[in-house]
Amino acid sequence: MREDGAGAVLVVPAAIGFLAGGITAAWLYTLYPPVRDHTWPIWALSAGSILFVVMTYFTARRLGALPAGDALVVGYGLALVIAASLVVTREIVHAVGEHVPEYIGVKRVGLTRVEVAG
């Protein structure tokens, strides 16, 4: 760990990258499933987000703040990896729940609406 506190300064660009990646992932999630022959919003959002990160990285590099640019890219990538992991996990749980037979001990229960008198 550095004594001059330079590591703590890199938290801000990493947080900005994480926020940009998180907003991108959340917004893309709202656009799925895409309407047939209407995928341009997904492409535009993805391209705009990547362009933002690349331009910010090159700006930081030009200003001589290469570690800050690196931290931005790492935060952005981390947010996208976490979002993708959550979506894949949800889909795997759903697929396993739909395809695992009951005779191996997995009970499938249909939920019904229960009304409580009172």
What pTM does this model have? 0.75
pLDDT per residue rounded down to tens, the chain (118 residues): 455 666 778 899 999 999 999 999 999 999 888 888 888 999 999 999 999 999 999 999 999 888 999 999 999 999 999 999 999 998 888 887 777 766 666 666 666 666 666 5
**Torsion-angle region of 21 (φ positive above 0: left; ψ -120 to 50: alpha; else: beta):** alpha
**Rounded Cα gap, residues 50 and 7, in angstroms:** 25
Residue with token string 């249909």: 110
Give residues with Cβ within 8 angstroms of 31, minimum separation 6: 41, 42, 45
SS3 35: strand
Q: Could you give the count of Cα atoms lying within 13 Å of 57 in the half-sphere of its Cβ?
A: 17
